[in-house]
């Protein structure tokens, strides 16, 4: 069954015989009298929005559309790129990714063979790596990582950003494709918290 983030409520109009009719009771003598009440507001400078079924159901639909858009965007983050999952275990952090060759998905520990740990960011490369893929990892509240690589001889682009919760902390892993990572290039992100960079 598909996950539902928001279920719209259908608002229904109140249907009565005498709209606006009020029964007023005199507390001094206990007598009650029925009145039909209507507005007498003078000049109306702005009509405003009515509290009715049309407007309330429209609000429900706009909220539902908003949730659907967010869900689609998050699914795109996880499904359209190489990274398929991120898991914190007792012995470290593991990622599941699909190699660029299109082979079956692979699960590897960050820092293991095939995924090398470069260091804390800002990190300045001490050798030439050529064409490669970087994984920049940091704790932050926003799903946007503004990754920068200064003194780079080639070019770079952020392919994908993957959210994950590690130890109750929201983290993000950015996948950065680099055409030519050279000695002296400095990798960094705007995050002020823990931030590390790995290379595939």
> pLDDT, tens digit, for every residue of 134-189?
888 776 555 556 788 999 998 998 887 777 665 556 677 788 889 999 999 999 98
H or E element at residue 139: strand 130-139
Long-range contacts, 154-161 (Cβ 8 Å, 24+)? 154/178, 154/179, 154/180, 154/181, 154/182, 155/179, 155/180, 159/81, 159/82, 159/133, 160/77, 160/80, 160/81, 160/82, 160/83, 161/77
Reported pTM: 0.46
Domain ranges of the chain: 21-79, 83-199
């Amino acid at each position: 069954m598909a996950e539902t983030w928001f279920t719209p409520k259908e608002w229904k109009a109140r249907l009565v015989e005498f709209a606006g009719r009020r029964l007023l009771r005199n507390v001094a003598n206990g007598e009650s009298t029925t009145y039909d009440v209507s507005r007498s507001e003078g000049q109306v400078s702005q009509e405003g929005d009515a509290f009715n079924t049309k407007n309330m159901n429209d609000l429900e639909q706009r909220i539902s559309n908003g949730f659907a858009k967010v869900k689609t965007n998050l699914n795109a983050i996880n499904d359209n790129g190489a990274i398929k999952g991120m898991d914190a275990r007792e012995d470290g952090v593991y990622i599941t990714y699909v190699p660029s060759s299109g082979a079956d998905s692979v699960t590897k520990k960050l820092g293991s063979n095939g995924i090398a740990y470069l260091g804390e960011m800002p990190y300045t490369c001490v050798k030439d790596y050529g064409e490669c893929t970087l994984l920049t990892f940091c704790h932050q509240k926003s799903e946007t990582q503004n990754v920068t690589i200064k003194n780079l001889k080639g070019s770079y682009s952020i392919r994908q950003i993957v959210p994950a919760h590690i130890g109750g902390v929201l983290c993000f892993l950015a996948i950065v494709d680099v055409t030519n990572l050279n000695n002296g290039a400095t990798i960094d992100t705007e995050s002020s918290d823990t931030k590390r960079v790995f290379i595939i």
